[in-house]
Amino acid sequence: MSSIFTKIINKEIPAKIEHEDNLCIVIHDIHPKAPVHLLIVPKKEIATIMDASDEDQALLGHLLIVARDMGKKLGLEGYKLQFNVGSKGGQEIFHIHLHLLGS
């Protein structure tokens, strides 16, 4: 079963898209916890960070670079980056995603 993020990536569900490239998509969180709350989602479905392989190193690094670029684009002077890992770590959607939270 595809995650909601896969459905957004495949344009089956609408979302407010801030950025998209061949590796990831950046969308606005529908339940923001900060004035700026973006989700940086890889197009490759990986359930949790615990499921990432060594081969995913470049992809995971790309997510951080995209987060940096989004911070610059939005003129943020500081922000938080957060991965929730596994249900005990607060993860609700099992398709990894990096939260960017700022004001």
Give pLDDT tens digits for 5-14: 999 999 999 9
Catalytic residue positions, numbered: 97
Quick one: average pLDDT of 84-89?
Answer: 97
Quick one: average pLDDT of 44-72?
Answer: 98
pLDDT at residue 1 is higher than 90:
no
pLDDT at position 33: 96
DSSP string covering 37-103: EEEEEESS--S-GGG--GGGHHHHHHHHHHHHHHHHHTT-S-EEEE---SGGGT--SSS--EEEEE-
In DSSP terms, which residues pair with 36 in a beta bridge? 102
The burial class, CB within 10 Å (0-12 / 13-18 / 19+), for 9 is buried
Asked if 98 and 83 count as a contact pair (C-beta separation under 8 A), the reply is: yes
Q: Which two tokens stand for residue 97?
A: 């995603």
* pTM for this model (two decimals): 0.95
Q: What class is the 4-30+42-94 domain?
A: alpha beta
The single-letter code of the amino acid at 51 is D
